[in-house]
Every structure is written in structure tokens, then in C-alpha cells.
Structure 1
Amino acid sequence: MDFGTEFKPLTVQPQEIEGLSFKMIDEEFGEHPFSQDEYKVVQRVIHASADFDLGRSMQFYPGAVEAGIRAIRNGEQVYADVQMIESGVSKGRIEKHGGSVNVFISDKDVMEEAKRLNTTRAIISVRKALKQFDGGIYAIGNAPTALLELIRLIKAGEAKPSLVIGLPVGFVSAPESKEELAKLDVPFITNIGRKGGSTITVAALNAISLLAEKA
């Protein structure tokens, strides 16, 4: 291998890099069962992870993407389980319609209540989100306990989210929480298995906000 040869990128223009990446994804991913809008989400998930198996593992409730688009355009709020999602999301496309991205996991009252009840901050932050707003988009990419608590509240009739993006990563309860989400009769975007994470959740949410902007 000749390490003396200087490597030059194909392009340094951001839009060209993204366009070329998506073209490569399309060519390698090939035929798929996803709708046009669902594939936009899958495409960005793969773009964020370079993981085609993760892309193929994505699952969508019928009309889930359209439900997310409506929620954003109607100015509904977004709840995220961790700050990393808030940092990565293109908030401008959500805020222009009156929505915002909310994270409660580090709030003082959440930390105190979690300590008092000897439970996770993720669980308490979901409960706080439910008190703050009706409907909305719940974007969970880190904490399976947050997703499981949301599922419990949905089953109890206490939560009626417009869309659940449930993509927590991990070994303990992450695959199971997504399996339980996929059984619900609510709009959801999830995947099968241990893979996922905040970056993947951001990619899915950004894809939906882009579709909302073009709708």
C-alpha cells in the first residue's frame, strides 16, 4: 500500500457530499418494502450510521411519518429523553411552526423525584413531559426505561402521543422495549434489536422535519 500518495476527497461541497452519499445508499440498499416517506427516514438513519442492517430493521406504524409531519406543522411539542437529541435536531424547522424540543432529565425536580422514588430520571422525565403537553412527539434514543414508561402510560390511557420515535440502544431492555412499542396501536417508528441511539433518533426526527418543511 502506497501511503505516500496524497488522498483527495471526491468533493468538499457539503450538499454534493450529502447527495453523493444518498446516491451510494440507494445503490447499495436496493429494493425495499418502505413507502416513499418511510424510506426518507431510513435513508437518513443509514446516512447517520453507515449501517444498512440497521436501516433494514426499521419498523413503521402505518401512516407514522405522516402523523409526525402533521404534528410538526401543527406546532406540537417534541419531548426528547436526553440532551444529545436536543443538540442534534435541527430545531429551526420545528420552531418555525410553533413547536420546541424539550428535555427534562436534568431538571432539579426530576432528579429529586427520581431519588425520592428510587427510580430512574428517565421515567420521571416522561411523567413530567406528560404533564407539560398533550399529544406531541416523543423521541427516545437512549433510555429503554423511558420508552417502557411511555408504553405503560399509553396502555393506561394516560398518554396519547402523536408519534413515538422509539430507538433506544443497548442490551438491557432496549430490544424488549421496542418489541412492546411495535405492539401498540399508536403511530410509532422503531427498529428490531439492540441497535439505535440518540444519533439515530436525531436522524429520524430530522428526516420528518424536512418532510414537514416540503409538505
Structure 2
Amino acid sequence: MKGFITDPLQIERESMRIIRGYLQQDWTEKELKIVERCIHTSGDPTLESVIRIHPQGIEAGLKSLQQGAPVITDVEMVRAGIAKKQLSQLGGTAECFLSDPRVADQAVELGITRSMAALRLNKERLKGAIVAIGNAPTALLEVLELAKDPETRPALVVGIPVGFVGAKESKDLLWEEHPELPSITILGNRGGSPLAATCVNALIYLAVNREI
């Protein structure tokens, strides 16, 4: 172990210092918290070029968290990655509806994915919430449809589904066709549950004034 840093806080600080050396764009200090953590999670400095943060995205997310709104996720893997202890300090919870017993039947009946059915059946929980999509492009499409109604419109959409079927297209739709909706995304095929959780956690840490 000689020569390795073993203090967790020191490791994190050194990681962020190294990451800042790679950055090519001008980010605000709050945006940096998201960008740095996405690069830290992925180990990929080139991710910076495809990260997109809506001008009202961070403030909308912070306001939602400070009001105790929930974080709604498309899959349990995103929910598992949320910093729930700090989120609870703000009065919020992390929720995923895939285990709702109605979901499977609804998905078959309507010919849609389970992630779409889960959100549709629990759409009233979306209003004013942060919705984090890390796996299913179809879930992001469902959120965009539900967001047309003020009664089911999230405060912020963290839309980072991963993959080769619909992922890029769903994120393009979010970013290019819905400028009215505060969002954070990573364009292209890259993304995934860890990155979706990372973005939400960066906001949670900002909201509770965590140092790093």
C-alpha cells in the first residue's frame, strides 16, 4: 500500500484537482460540481463535451430539494445510488415505482415498457420533483409526455439513459425540443444509472452545503 493515498477525503480532493486540469469549458462553480462528479464517476474527461446543463437546471433542482420534494427514478439502480441520508436531511425521499404490483399488467395491456407504466401509474408524484432517468429511454419519453401537464411536470429532469436503441434520440428530444423544461443530460449513447445518481447527488450535496 506504500505510495497510495488511503484517506477517502484526500482521495476525493485529489481526484477533483486532477479533473479540473482536464476541463476545457467555462463552467460556473455550481455547474462544476456536476461536471466534476460525472467525470469522476465515469473516469472519462471527454465526457465534458457532451454534458448539458439547462440555464435554470441547477436552481430548479436545488429549490425542489430544499422544499423536500422526492427524487423519482426509473430503475432501482438509480435509486440505490442516491445519497439518501443527505436527502432525508432535506425532507426528501428517493422513489422507484417498478415494484408497484400494477405495473406488469399495465405494461402488457398498453404494449409499453414497465418503466413507462410505472411512471404513468404514479404520475401525481412527479409534480415539482426531480426525475432521474439512467436506464430506460422510454421512461424519459414518458416523462416528457407527462411534463406537458402542469399537474405532472417535474421541477427538473436528469435524463441520462444509456444504450444504442433510443437513448441518444430521447436525450436529443429532451435537450433540443423542450427548452422550457429544466434538465441535465449527457448527449449521445453514454449515460447510465451511476451517472444519473451522480448528478442528483451533486445537487443534494450543494443543497446541504457539503464541502466536496
Same fold (TM over 0.5): yes
Task: Find the counterpart in structure 2 of residue 43 from structure 1.
Answer: 36
Task: Find the counterpart in structure 1 of residue 89 from structure 2.
Answer: 96
Q: 2:172 aligns with which of 169, 172, 179?
A: 179
Alignment partner of 2:152: what SS? coil
Which structure 1 residue ranges, 4+ long, deviate > 4 Å from structure 2?
A: none
Q: Is residue 8 from structure 1 mapped to residue 33 from structure 2 by the alignment? A: no
Of stretches 47-56 and 153-162 in structure 1, the one that deviates more from structure 2 is: 153-162
Q: Aligned letter for 1:28?
A: Y
Task: Find the counterpart in structure 2 of residue 4 from structure 1.
Answer: none
Q: 2:19 aligns with which of 21, 25, 46?
A: 25
Q: Is residue 190 from structure 1 mapped to residue 185 from structure 2 by the alignment? A: yes
Q: Aligned letter for 1:73?
A: Q
Q: Is residue 202 from structure 1 mapped to residue 197 from structure 2 by the alignment? A: yes
Larger Rg: 1
Q: Distance in 1 between matches of 2:144 and 2:76?
A: 21
What is the TM-score with the length of structure 2 in the denominator?
0.92
Whether contact under 8 Å (1:164, 1:187) holds in the other structure is: yes
Whether contact under 8 Å (1:126, 1:146) holds in the other structure is: yes
What is the TM-score with the length of structure 1 in the denominator?
0.91
Q: Distance in 1 between matches of 2:74 and 2:2?
A: 40
- Deviations for 1:125-164, whole angstroms, at most 9, x for unmatched residues? 1113312352201000000000011112223555311000
How far off its partner does 1:63 sit? 2.0
Alignment partner of 2:120: what SS? helix
* Number of positions where the alignment pairs a residue of Structure 1 with one of Structure 2: 208
Task: Find the counterpart in structure 2 of residue 107 from structure 1.
Answer: 100
Whether contact under 8 Å (1:79, 1:129) holds in the other structure is: no
Whether contact under 8 Å (1:68, 1:163) holds in the other structure is: yes
Question: What's the % identity of the aligned pairs?
Answer: 38
Task: Find the counterpart in structure 2 of residue 137 from structure 1.
Answer: 130
Whether contact under 8 Å (2:124, 2:151) holds in the other structure is: no
